Structure 1
């Protein structure tokens, strides 16, 4: 979009927050870049340049506006819609892969050489993987500097910098000020998105409105696995397996944001934890685009109008979601939770949760490698499917991560004995975030479709769903919301006290 000057300039004139994250506006006369919604006076068109990302603007020598803080805007929904190499790389960068594995590791995951990947990112985003990762570190560092009293040394390492000196130099370059002045200025303006309490931090997760949070939170609550997930005091809580340790997150929805409290074993995992929580709640979606597309179908129009802004209930770990989906084949939600809870208590890593009742992380593939049949009280065919899935994930025959190829992942899943189209589409929808995933054989989808006067036969429904592309996964979520089912209860009728 950034290459269409007139369209971008009109968006800036309207100060429309829906375009935040799609591009940034750089002003030649001030050397500052802003969100499209920034309330400052609009410069003359000849003094404006548009860039596809904060990283590109920083690379061109511009610094972030201190008023609208464009480096803290919601991520571009474009990376959720697309399945190409650039989008996959951006999802991996957001998960912290560059900081952990370097550019070589990022390129290997996407399936290109470092030179090819660098060229593609430069061509589309105006910045390479290192610059994009640097922009993400700046965002995290600025957020922590402005809104916590954490020592700068802790902030530097939490944001992914290699040293205090690198942290100081980068903040000066990107923000045109020192960390000390940045903190002092923020305290005067009373920007308090985060409140420190030891290793526990509370951050405000921004979201594009409208935000029909009842759907996604109701689904997560109804399918919560005892031991690693719970609902307590109006918040959905769960454990996280992170690169440097475990974490516990508490997520409380609001109409225009989500309050996210994180207790981390290692503060270095902060940026990754936030990225995974955003992914879990599908917070970087573009609700207006979904509403426009689905409202064009008379069968869905009333449902969409009743609760616009649905989000897909996703996951913090793609492999976990796949395991849980196979366990949940052809059983009730309650039975699926019971089966998963047995795995959690038998194989998950123990955690300490003074604030609640969480006891374990969901077991990793490595922890499930030697699974005992007694812990799988399911039919033999499904037991064999789960064992084969775990073996495939461990051996690399099945690749499920934020940067995997959606179509290749489907093919790999379908090659696992006992895994059919329903499982593959649910994993693509909730695990991988493919916005066009469509489990046409799902019983709830078929019942809801028939109630709305839409085809109930899977083949006919699939044909009809062509008009919903590329947002068929969101159509599924809207259809689910019409059912009399526990996934639509938020807050749930029974909560943990």
Structure 2
């Protein structure tokens, strides 16, 4: 969108928050860059130039605005509605792959050369993978500086910087303030200017954050679905918050997510602060916070059958997952059984094979078992029909052996094809994994009983083939149409718990 100058200027002049994260405005006369909704008086159009990413602004020498904090904008919806190389690369960068594995590791996961990845990212985003990862490190550093009392040296390494000097230089370059000045500005208290080399940052602590989103956001089906299907020990609804354990690259964590009118309150308890950016990224994906609800609802509203559903409760999101492999395993456990039975099956696996965790603030007890941990289970211990037992153990084996990979970088169509080739995998299982685990916004469930029942009540075709043909007008947002169809039912997944 950043190349459509006229549209960008209109968005900036109207301070339209819907475009935050879609593009960034750099002001030539001041040397700063802003989000479109920046509250300051808009600059003259001739002094504006537009970039597709914060990293591109920083590479061009612009500093982040201190008023609108553009680095904290919601992420671009582009990366969650596409499955091409650039979108998959951006999802992996958000998941910390460049910091942990470098650009060669990123390229290897994508199946391209480092040069190809660099070239395509630069062409579309104006910055390569290292610059994009650096921008993310700067944002993580700012978050830790402003919301914790950690020493600057620990923050530097927790945010992924290789040295304190690089940390200091980057913060000054991006924010035009030293790390100490950033903390003073946020807290009103002078910050210590001394820094010593830290040990490996394994300090356990809780961080309270605000996760932004594009309005509107309807929390009912989003949190209702997560709470109604929560696996005991791994997930819970407590005191108005959805809480769950997280398996992260450097350790484990616990996330507590609470819906607020203008943000999601997020409390993260981490065993290792280096996992902070990954934990944030996964929580955002879980709640589908980078979606563009206005664009989605506008298209669905064009269908006179869906329009009343959208008008009644706009801004529905697709409840997703923090662990793609976990969701696939749970989808198989839930085949042809009730929600309660699926939770019981999963809870037994968690108790027998999950990794124990401590949760002083609630009742969480385990991480969901990894495919590797489940690879040694006795199939006879699974209280399910033999055919589904075979489906489950085959999926476990393929995930554990690396024959099947499900992750943020997955190609949606290729993954769906590979899932359908497994024994016991029909369209419903493959499509629900595509929708909720892999994030395909156009995944559709025409064989789902809830969808078919809603279709029948609304006067839509209820047979899978006819409903699929009718739903062609909803593309590429059929996964969101499913949320509106499900919402016609009285199932607990559609209601915010009390």
**For the superposition of Structure 1 and Structure 2, which TM-score range results when normalised by the shorter chain?**
over 0.9
Deviation at 1:154, TM superposition (A): 2.2
1:87-486 matches, cutoff 5 A: 87-188=87-188, 199-486=205-492
| Alpha-carbon contact 1:22-1:77 (below 8 Å) kept | yes
Deviation at 1:198, TM superposition (A): 6.0
Whole-Å separation in 2 of the counterparts to 1:383 and 1:140? 43
Give the TM-score normalised by the residue count of structure 2. 0.96
Whole-Å separation in 1 of the counterparts to 2:468 and 2:157? 49
Deviation string 1:136-185 (CA, Å, 9 cap, x unpaired) is 11111112212322221222122111222221111011111100111111
Deviation string 1:31-62 (CA, Å, 9 cap, x unpaired) is 10000000112222221110000000000110
Deviation at 1:365, TM superposition (A): 1.2
| Alpha-carbon contact 1:238-1:248 (below 8 Å) kept | yes
Whole-Å separation in 2 of the counterparts to 1:157 and 1:439? 44
SS of equivalent to 1:367: helix
What number of residue pairs does the alignment pair up?
485
Which residue does 2:4 correspond to in 1? Answer: 4
Deviation at 1:374, TM superposition (A): 4.0
Deviation at 1:375, TM superposition (A): 3.5
Whole-Å separation in 2 of the counterparts to 1:44 and 1:475? 41
Whole-Å separation in 2 of the counterparts to 1:423 and 1:198? 38
| Alpha-carbon contact 2:297-2:314 (below 8 Å) kept | yes
Unaligned runs of 5+ in 2: 190-202
Q: Answer with 68-77 or 149-158: which moved more.
A: 149-158
Deviation at 1:396, TM superposition (A): 2.5
| Alpha-carbon contact 1:293-1:468 (below 8 Å) kept | yes
Whole-Å separation in 1 of the counterparts to 2:227 and 2:381? 24
1:10-25 matches, cutoff 5 A: 10-25=10-25
Deviation at 1:490, TM superposition (A): 1.3
Whole-Å separation in 2 of the counterparts to 1:143 and 1:350? 29
Deviation string 1:164-212 (CA, Å, 9 cap, x unpaired) is 22211110111111001111112249xxxxxxx9611111111111010
Which residue does 1:495 correspond to in 2? Answer: none
Deviation string 1:196-241 (CA, Å, 9 cap, x unpaired) is x961111111111101011110000000000101111111111000
Which residue does 1:34 correspond to in 2? Answer: 34
Whole-Å separation in 2 of the counterparts to 1:454 and 1:96? 44
Runs (4+) of structure 1 moved beyond 3 Å?
A: none
Deviation string 1:60-103 (CA, Å, 9 cap, x unpaired) is 11010011000111100111111111000000101111111111
Whole-Å separation in 1 of the counterparts to 2:32 and 2:136? 18
| Alpha-carbon contact 1:109-1:404 (below 8 Å) kept | no
| Alpha-carbon contact 1:211-1:310 (below 8 Å) kept | yes
Q: Answer with 167-176 or 365-374: which moved more.
A: 365-374
Which residue does 1:60 correspond to in 2? Answer: 60
Whole-Å separation in 2 of the counterparts to 1:271 and 1:166? 18
Which residue does 2:194 correspond to in 1? Answer: none
Whole-Å separation in 1 of the counterparts to 2:234 and 2:157? 27
Deviation at 1:489, TM superposition (A): 2.5
Change beyond 3 A, Cα 1:61–1:294: same
